[in-house]
Amino acid sequence: MALAVEGLACIRGERQLFCDLTFRLAAGEALLLHGPNGSGKSSLLRLLAGFLPPAAGRVLWDAAPVTDDADAHRDRLHYLGHQDAVKSQLSAEDNLTFWAQLYGLPVAEAGQAVTSALSAAGLQRQRRLPGRYLSAGQKRRLALARLLLKPASLWLLDEPTNALDTAAVAWLGELLGNHRAHGGLVILASHVAVPLADARQLNLPEGRLA
């Protein structure tokens, strides 16, 4: 499992964010995106997730362009954006159950997966609470719990630590460590320190690898 990016360029609203971006990420590796606001961190993540076509260059998975089989690429990744996608009218449990069903989990398995994801996120006590009563940090934890519902080799996380307290950041570190120990790849944009051991660093918009 390896992700390679070759000569990638991104244009948003007639403005070029970055160009000629090239890097490789092997199984178990993590990449941390740095850069000021508007330097294209979120756009790069959305581009890798397949939401955004690149203006130039290509994204390869195991040496094959991901556009060759967009469905396979979609199934192998988790994308977590700025928003938590938590419906305010649905309870924490129902939110997770919906995602589990969306990922195609059979009903019996879905119930099991949702329960264990809720307890991993420390939200058992809030599981019947509608989304609108959850705090920002709890919603973020719920969104992160989604990562446990479907196995995926590539995690694309945009500011995952937003609104998280110290304990929850430590939990995220654990999640990331586990994921990488199983050969998973992580690409993560964050303004604050994330517990991510020996991650490679990418500075945008210059695209310099450190």
Partner 1 sequence: MSAFLAIVGRDLRLGFGAQGAMLTTLLFFVLAVSLFPLGVGPEPQILARIAAGVIWVAALLAAMLSLDRLFQTDQEDGTLDLLAQAPLPLGLVALAKTLAHWLTTGLPLSLIAPLLAILLQMDGAAIPVLLAALLLGTPSLSLIGAIGAALTLGAKRGAVLVPLLTLPLVIPVLIFGVGAVEAASYGLTAGPHLLLLGAFLAGALALSPFAIAGAIKLALE
Partner 2 sequence: MFHALANPARFLRLMAVIRPWAAGVAIVGLAAGLGWGLLYSPPDYQQGETVRIMYIHVPAAWMGMFIYAAMAVASATALIWRHPVAELVAKASAPVGAVFTLICLLTGALWGKPMWGAWWVWDARLTSMLILFFIYLGYMALWEAFDDPARAGRAAAILALVGAVNLPIIKFSVDWWNTMHQPASVLTLAGPKIHPDILWPLLITALGAKGYYVWLLTLRVRAEILSRQARILRFAAATDRRAD
Binding site for partner 2 (CB under 8 A): 11-16
Q: How far apart are CA 150 and CA 204, in angstroms?
A: 30
> Which letter, b or e, does each residue of 85-103 get, where b requires 16 or more Cβ atoms within 10 Å of its Cβ?
ebeeeebbbbbbbebbeeb
- Provide, rounded to whole angstroms, the least separation between the CB of residue 103 and partner 1: 7
CB 139 within 8 A of CB 162: no
**DSSP-assigned beta bridge partners for residue 77:** 154
13 touches, from partner 1, partner 2, none (C-beta below 5 to 8 Å by class) = partner 2
Beta strand 208-209 pairing with 200-203: antiparallel
Nearer to partner 2 by Cβ, of 105 and 204: the residue is 204
Beta strand 2-12 pairing with 185-189: unpaired
Residues 6+ apart with CB under 8 A from 65: 58, 59
DSSP secondary structure letter of residue 111: H
90 touches, from partner 2, partner 1, none (C-beta below 5 to 8 Å by class) = partner 1
37 touches, from partner 1, partner 2, none (C-beta below 5 to 8 Å by class) = none
Nearer to partner 1 by Cβ, of 74 and 208: the residue is 74
Which helix (DSSP H) or strand (DSSP E) does residue 109 occupy? helix 107-120
Task: Please give the structure tokens belonging to residue 207.
Answer: 């695209």
6 touches, from partner 1, partner 2, none (C-beta below 5 to 8 Å by class) = none
- Provide, rounded to whole angstroms, the least separation between the CB of residue 13 and partner 2: 4
- Provide, rounded to whole angstroms, the least separation between the CB of residue 52 and partner 1: 5
112 touches, from partner 2, partner 1, none (C-beta below 5 to 8 Å by class) = none
Nearer to partner 1 by Cβ, of 67 and 83: the residue is 83
- Provide, rounded to whole angstroms, the least separation between the CB of residue 100 and partner 1: 9
Binding site for partner 1 (CB under 8 A): 46, 49, 51-53, 71, 74-75, 77, 79, 81-90, 94, 98-99, 101-106, 146
Task: Please give the structure tokens belonging to residue 91.
Answer: 């309870």
- Provide, rounded to whole angstroms, the least separation between the CB of residue 156 and partner 2: 22
2 touches, from partner 2, partner 1, none (C-beta below 5 to 8 Å by class) = none
Neighbours of 191 (CB within 10 A): 13
